[in-house]
């Protein structure tokens, strides 16, 4: 099982979402936020990931699934807001 680190998770984000200029960082224990020029611009906002105890020990693949969910949700919301 591959261990999740900020370095390999940010590489995953860069490889999977090259059109976005965001990265994941940890400002405090149990709190993971996305930052970068695309965050909060033009109704685009990716919600922070609040580390649930189980997620703290999750595999790289589980983290990637969580990241994908948050980014997809942000993209869908942005698309909806632009359609109004």
- Domain range for 65: 6-83
Cα 8 to chain centroid distance, Å, stands at: 13
User: Using one digit for the tens of pLDDT, what is the confidence trace for 49-72?
Assistant: 776 555 667 889 999 998 999 999
Give a yes or no: residue 69 inside a domain: yes
Give a yes or no: residue 1 inside a domain: no
State yes or no: pLDDT of 40 exceeds 90.
Answer: no
Give a yes or no: residue 73 inside a domain: yes
How far is the C-alpha of 17 from the C-alpha of 27, rounded, in Å? 22
Give the 3-state secondary structure of residue 65: helix
Whether residue 78 contacts residue 40, with contact meaning beta carbons closer than 8 Å, is answered with no
In this prediction the pTM is 0.81
Give a yes or no: residue 23 inside a domain: yes
Question: What domain count does the chain have?
Answer: 1
Query: What's the maximum distance between 2 C-alpha atoms anywhere in the chain?
Result: 44
Rg (CA), the chain: 13
Give a yes or no: residue 55 inside a domain: yes
């Amino acid at each position: 099982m591959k261990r999740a680190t900020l370095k390999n998770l940010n590489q995953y984000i860069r490889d999977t979402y090259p059109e976005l200029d965001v990265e994941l960082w940890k400002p405090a224990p149990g709190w993971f936020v996305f930052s970068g020029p695309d965050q909060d611009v033009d109704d685009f906002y990716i919600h922070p990931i609040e580390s649930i105890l189980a997620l703290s020990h999750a595999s790289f693949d589980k983290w990637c699934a969580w990241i994908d969910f948050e980014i997809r949700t942000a993209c869908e919301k942005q698309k909806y807001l632009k359609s109004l």
